[in-house]
């Protein structure tokens, strides 16, 4: 059962005042706050079982290794992966996308004049790694345009697909506009021409269930800190048969079976892609975060958040000159500007009223250029937000606008 008042108590950071006002935290697309279950798991690791993993035979090393690999299993179950070996721990979505792009560039499978497709909605982390791959291989980057409502032009996407298409890398939910892309259909279309598919699930992970077998993509990346876990931990899920054909990227401990000065034999999955000491505490805390959200139910969380976004859009719509970006059926984020007012000024005044929102281009400069703006005010929602937060958001925005005009 979704009991909001009880859930809020799980997040101690929310019990504070900003500028003498109750904190209203609406910057969840940037990072989410952490429940006690996650905070406890992090502290318990360092207080009770802190040791390096996989190498030691002593008691603490065994406990830490068991907890780390149990976390991998928890994440594999959450994703419905066919095996935990498909779960590769990274530092976050950016690291995961870079890992995939680099091993594809090193593989020799991407040739000059091959094509990589991304979209106008992408975060810089799902643009720059593919530009770098194209620079290294001679491949060509193609971009799916978007409509005025912030949805992708599916006819244009279809026209881009051809026998030269080798990679489609697509965000599931836009961090800037809250657009939910039809990733199932677009993945299926890309697979029809033999392309590999990467899904950036940084925003989706906190709002939607993810079933990698149903989705049909080859890679999915997400960050722990977007889904109530600490920063510095993330996951790249990769299909076994794809990962086994690709070379390692980073070299060092753990990713090897045997090292001599003449030759190194690489380890099996997932260790092939986990060089060095991993973020052990982060992996354990990420598993605790996923247990937490699954205990509530992602469908329940998503329903709650979508109601808040709809209510927020309605509450803000009375402000003269306000413009919303993205489709009406958004997920996670609500972005807007007000005529004649800079988004930074608006967000700064709202902060003085205890309302934390994000301003700027949200690491989506090409998307902002598409709409001839430098940035937006973005309110983004999580399971612990309430209608009181929406009322505070609207009141702060209205007062800030009146002060700036």
Give the closest residue to 9 by CA, choosing from 27, 37, 35, 28.
35
**Cα distance between residue 132 and residue 136, in whole Å:** 6
Q: Can 146 be counted among the known catalytic residues? A: no
Please check whether residue 292 is in contact with residue 309, taking contact to mean a CB–CB distance below 8 angstroms. Answer: no
What's the rounded Cα separation, in Å, for the pair 311 and 317?
Answer: 10
Question: Could you tell me which residues come within 8 angstroms of residue 304 by beta carbon, excluding any fewer than 6 positions away?
Answer: 2, 4, 383
Contacts within 8 Å (CB) and 24+ apart, 318-327: 318/398, 319/397, 319/398, 319/401, 320/401, 325/150, 325/176, 325/177, 325/371, 325/376, 326/149, 326/150, 326/174, 326/176, 326/177, 326/178, 326/179, 327/149, 327/150, 327/151, 327/177, 327/178, 327/179
Phi-psi region of 194 (alpha: psi -120 to 50; beta: other; left: phi over 0): left
Neighbours of 340 (CB within 10 A): 10
Q: Which of 356, 324, 359 is nearest to 343 (CA)?
A: 359
258 forms bridges with which residues in the sheet? 265
| CA distances to 9, 23, 42, 159, 379 from 309, in Å | 22, 18, 31, 33, 9
- Burial letters 357-394, b for 16+ CB under 10 A, else e: bbbbbbbbeebbebbeeebbbbbbbbbbbbeebbebbb
Task: Give the integer Cα–Cα distance in Å for 225 and 139.
Answer: 33
DSSP code of residue 337: E
Residues known to be catalytic:
363
């Amino acid at each position: 059962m979704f009991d909001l008042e009880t859930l809020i108590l799980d997040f101690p950071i929310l019990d504070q005042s900003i500028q003498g006002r109750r904190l209203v935290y609406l910057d969840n697309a940037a990072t989410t706050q952490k429940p006690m279950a996650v905070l406890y798991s992090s502290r318990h690791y360092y207080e009770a079982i802190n040791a390096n993993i996989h190498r030691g035979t002593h008691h603490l090393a065994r406990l830490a290794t068991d907890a780390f690999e149990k976390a991998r299993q928890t994440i594999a179950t959450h994703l419905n992966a066919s095996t935990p070996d498909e779960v590769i721990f990274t530092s976050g979505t950016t690291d995961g996308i870079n890992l995939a792009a680099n091993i594809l560039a090193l593989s020799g499978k991407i040739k000059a004049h091959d094509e990589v497709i991304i979209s106008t909605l992408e975060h810089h982390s799902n643009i720059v790694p593919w530009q770098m791959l194209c620079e290294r291989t001679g491949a060509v980057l193609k971009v799916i345009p978007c409509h005025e409502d912030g949805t992708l032009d599916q006819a244009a996407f279809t026209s881009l697909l051809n026998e030269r298409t080798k990679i489609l890398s697509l965000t599931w939910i836009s961090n800037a506009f809250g657009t939910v892309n039809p990733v199932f259909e677009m993945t299926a279309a890309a697979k029809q021409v033999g392309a590999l598919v990467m899904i950036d699930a940084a925003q989706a992970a906190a709002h939607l269930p993810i079933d990698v077998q149903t989705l049909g993509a080859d890679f999915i990346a997400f960050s722990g800190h977007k889904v109530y876990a600490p920063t510095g931990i993330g996951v790249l899920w990769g299909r076994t048969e794809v990962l086994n054909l690709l070379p390692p990227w980073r070299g060092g401990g753990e990713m090897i079976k045997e090292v001599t000065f003449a030759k190194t034999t690489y380890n099996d999955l997932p260790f092939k892609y986990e060089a060095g000491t991993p973020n052990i505490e982060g992996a354990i805390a990420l598993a605790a975060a996923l247990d937490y959200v699954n205990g509530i139910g992602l469908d329940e969380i998503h329903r709650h958040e979508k109601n808040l976004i709809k209510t927020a859009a309605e509450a803000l719509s009375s402000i003269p000159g306000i413009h919303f970006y993205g489709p009406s059926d958004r997920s996670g984020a609500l972005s807007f500007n007000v005529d004649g007012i800079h988004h930074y000024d608006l967000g700064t005044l709202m902060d003085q009223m205890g309302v934390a929102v994000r301003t700027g281009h949200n690491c989506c400069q090409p998307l902002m250029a598409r709409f001839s703006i430098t940035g937006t005010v973005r309110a983004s929602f999580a399971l612990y937000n309430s209608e009181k937060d929406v009322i505070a958001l609207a009141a702060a925005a209205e007062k800030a606008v009146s002060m700036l005009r």
